[in-house]
């Protein structure tokens, strides 16, 4: 069997590349892969090359590495294309998203999925994703794209509408990552869990969540989770971000809805109208909602990377523990034919009955030599689908805006955002969008300014 070619677009995201390739090199069939690294930042590209070279040697991989500043060149004859870039970066664009919204009285936590921050990020990002699709059509039409770029639903939706011939899936770690967190909250081993999950990205729910008992039978652990929450034993203190993110929002929603959502509390707080309100510091305190969390993480990650880079330069070997990310599993299954199941973001073509057909949904997918094959989830509990629909509304309008080059739909998307509408009036929302568009001069498509 020939060796696959794996192309990373946005390879300057060195830690992400390191983690994905750490998984790849755990797969015997992928150890001889050619890795093509592409980024527009030559310095970051060189840093990634250094790290990947040492990682490859440490793992006993026998493949090769090439570095590219030209996207089409990097994509030539690729079998797998991994996308991991952030258009506009932390500075200036993420700072702009937060500062402009704050001036208008709208506070955010992450701002990468929904709301004005997610809308602007999508407008910045989708044209660049389309350029990848266009190049793939020409130089690697049979490749499979693994997209990790947020806002996941809007980005994935815009790509499959404009480039339906491109084989792609949107990937996130929230399904398997949250399952690990819940296992930890109950002092269980993650490998003993079994679950089914469906919904939309960052708002999928575990429709069943079970553990294997001593007799080898699977039993529902939702009652145990609720009991642990009521006794104050769950959620356990966070392991990341200096304990700022506590998971209280998700447990409160679990108590009210009866199902646990996949994405973190700091994300979920800004997808709904319940937790971040003007003149309600009591809600922020009660649920420990980390306002401005994403900019804080960016600053911390930038500082940490400087130290990590020095450590990598000095290290003879770089090893990575195998993670729960799906990328290497997908590559291995497609390349070898060994079947696996992952959760991916795909077009809703009869997959979830009570969400709009054509919208982007997150469901279980069978992966083998035939590629990524989404499975039908059926009809979701009506209250969960109704909550998801409030987010799908925003995704629908923003995707329509960029596909039809309709500036007015950008405002409509912001108007329908649950958090924004709970805080600002209609005229205030229009003024906010005006200021965001003006502040993003040079980062948004030209039609936005015509």
Residue 259: CA atoms inside 13 Å, Cβ hemisphere, count? Answer: 21
Cα distance between residue 206 and residue 209, in whole Å? 6
Strand ranges for 92-173 from DSSP E: 144-147, 167-170
Structure tokens at 55: 């990682």
* Cβ–Cβ under 8 Å, residues 203 and 392: no
Exactly one of 34, 104, 128, 173 is catalytic; which is it? 173
Strand ranges for 109-154 from DSSP E: 144-147
Mark whether 241 is an active-site residue.
Answer: no
Cα distance between residue 274 and residue 256, in whole Å? 12
Structure tokens at 388: 């998801």
Cα-to-chain-centroid distance, residue 104: 27
Please tell me whether residue 46 adopts helix, strand or coil conformation.
helix
Give 93's DSSP letter.
I
**Residue pointed to by tokens 């729910």:** 205
Distance between terminal CA atoms of the chain? 52
**Which of 223, 251, 259, 224 has the alpha carbon at shortest distance from 235?**
251
Structure tokens at 246: 């506590």
* Cβ–Cβ under 8 Å, residues 295 and 96: no
DSSP characters over 338-362: --EEEEEEEE-SSSBTTS-TTSEEE
Cβ within 8 Å of residue 354, ≥6 positions away: 379, 380, 382, 385
Which residues does the annotation mark as catalytic? Answer: 173
């Amino acid at each position: 069997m020939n060796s696959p070619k794996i192309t990373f677009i946005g390879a300057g995201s060195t830690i992400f590349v390191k983690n994905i390739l750490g998984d790849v090199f755990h797969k015997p069939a992928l150890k001889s892969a050619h890795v093509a690294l592409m980024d527009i930042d030559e310095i970051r590209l060189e840093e990634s090359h250094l790290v990947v070279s040492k990682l490859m040697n440490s793992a006993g991989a026998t493949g090769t590495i090439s570095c590219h500043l030209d996207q089409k060149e990097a994509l030539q004859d690729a079998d797998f294309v991994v996308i991991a870039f952030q258009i506009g970066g932390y500075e200036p664009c993420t700072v702009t998203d937060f500062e402009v919204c704050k001036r208008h009285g709208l506070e955010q936590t992450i701002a990468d999925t929904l709301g004005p921050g997610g809308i602007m990020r999508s407008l910045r990002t989708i044209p660049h994703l389309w350029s990848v699709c266009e190049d793939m059509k020409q130089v690697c039409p049979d490749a499979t794209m693994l997209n990790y770029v947020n806002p996941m639903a809007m980005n994935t939706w815009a790509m499959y509408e404009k480039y339906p011939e491109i084989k792609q899936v949107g990937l996130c770690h929230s399904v398997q990552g949250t399952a690990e967190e819940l296992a930890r909250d109950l002092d269980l081993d993650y490998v003993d869990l079994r679950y089914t999950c469906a919904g939309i990205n960052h708002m999928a729910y575990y429709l069943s969540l079970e553990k294997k008992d001593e007799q080898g039978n699977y039993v529902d652990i939702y009652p145990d989770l609720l009991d642990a929450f009521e006794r104050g034993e769950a959620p356990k203190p966070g392991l990341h971000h200096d304990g700022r993110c506590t998971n209280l929002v998700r447990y409160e929603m679990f108590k009210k809805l009866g199902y646990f959502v996949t994405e973190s509390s700091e994300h979920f707080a800004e997808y709904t109208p319940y937790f971040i309100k003007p003149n309600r510091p009591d809600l922020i305190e009660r649920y420990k909602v980390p306002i401005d969390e994403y900019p804080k993480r960016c600053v911390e990650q930038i500082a940490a990377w400087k130290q990590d880079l020095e450590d990598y330069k000095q290290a003879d070997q770089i090893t990575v523990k195998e993670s729960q990310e799906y990328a290497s599993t997908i590559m291995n299954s497609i390349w070898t034919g060994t079947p696996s199941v992952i959760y991916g973001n795909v077009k809703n073509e009869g997959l979830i009955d009570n969400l709009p057909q054509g919208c982007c949904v997150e469901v279980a997918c069978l992966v083998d030599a035939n590629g990524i094959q989404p499975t039908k989830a059926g009809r979701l509990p009506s209250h969960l689908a109704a909550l998801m629909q409030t987010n799908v509304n925003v995704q629908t309008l923003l995707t329509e805006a960029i596909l039809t080059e309709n500036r007015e739909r950008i405002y409509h998307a912001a108007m329908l955002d649950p958090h924004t509408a709970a805080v600002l009036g209609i005229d205030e929302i229009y003024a906010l969008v005006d200021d965001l568009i003006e502040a993003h001069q040079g980062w948004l498509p030209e039609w936005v300014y015509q």
